[in-house]
Amino acid sequence: MTARAPRRRGIAGLALISLLMVSVLLSLGFWQLQRRLDKHALIAALTERLAAPPAALPDVRDWAALTPAHDEFRRVVFTAAYDKRPDAMVYSSGSAVRDDISGPGTWALLPARLPSGQTVVINTGFVQNTMQDRAQQDRAVAPLVTGVTVTLTGYLRFPDPGGALTPRGDPVKRLWFSRDLRGIATALGWGEVAPFYIDLELPMPASGIPKPAPLSVHLKDDHLQYAITWFGLAGAVAIAFGFWLFGQRRRAA
């Protein structure tokens, strides 16, 4: 009896640890399956928004209620005139929503004045700008800034201030590494800007640079593979414990 008691406690302890490990691994697998469902719902919603006919730009009174979850990638059409103010370069090594982009290069962000007086930032398109050259960017955007009101079609996007590891912007070179609208607008004297920006689809400039284009959804979906991995690990732990327990019982017999 005295020899069996420690063995039973050991078996019970390892069984509890194995059960906890299996439970955690299974929960991670089910979490990945739920994320897969959420990702598919997001892809379907974004695909629907991108394919929808362009609607009018939301009224300024509704801007504060706009959210990325409900409004990101909505197609809009409106009229505006590019302000004669400094543009901003935003570095890019590629794009998750543009098939035609291969970096490095820069996005050309310009402020545009709506007929109502508000300023909206326009991502006018991609400039193949491997050295982030300010002169090259200036030559690309200069023909756009005519002061003439034009019709613009594009997609609602929301700013990205970057993270702790994002390099700081260079106001002298007018080069940033994230779409930090507030920081860019403050540094370049754009004044108060809309809480979103527009990824331009049309019109295409005569030179083709900056290069706007339609957006498409390319969200990575590896969640099923991750779920299978977690479920496989849970099964491996359960099988390993089963073999160990079988061996313990054979030695005790």
pLDDT value, residue 2? 55
Fill in the DSSP letter of residue 124.
Answer: E
pLDDT value, residue 246? 84
Q: Nearest to residue 247, comparing CAs of 87, 11, 22, 66?
A: 11
- 10-residue mean pLDDT series, the chain (253 residues): 67 89 94 89 83 95 94 96 96 87 90 97 95 92 94 96 89 95 96 97 95 87 92 94 84 71
Buried/exposed code over 214-246 (b: 16+ C-beta within 10 A; e: otherwise): bbebeeeeebeebbeebbebbeebbeebeeeee
Q: Which residue has the tokens 């019970």?
A: 12
pLDDT value, residue 200? 98
Residue 232 backbone phi and psi in degrees, to 5: -65, -40
User: What span, in angstroms and rounded, lies between the C-alpha atoms of 3 and 110?
Assistant: 80
Q: Nearest to residue 241, comparing CAs of 4, 19, 8?
A: 19
Alpha helix (H) residue ranges in 107-146: 134-141
User: What span, in angstroms and rounded, lies between the C-alpha atoms of 199 and 75?
Assistant: 9
pLDDT value, residue 60? 96
Fill in the DSSP letter of residue 204.
Answer: P
User: What span, in angstroms and rounded, lies between the C-alpha atoms of 39 and 237?
Assistant: 29
Q: What is the chain's length?
A: 253
Domain boundaries, the chain: 4-46+221-252, 74-202
pTM above threshold 0.85: no
pLDDT value, residue 83? 95
The CB-based long-range contact list for 112-116 (8 Å cut-off, 24+ gap) reads 112/80, 112/81, 112/82, 112/83, 112/152, 113/80, 113/81, 113/82, 113/83, 114/57, 114/78, 114/79, 114/80, 115/79, 115/80, 115/149, 116/60
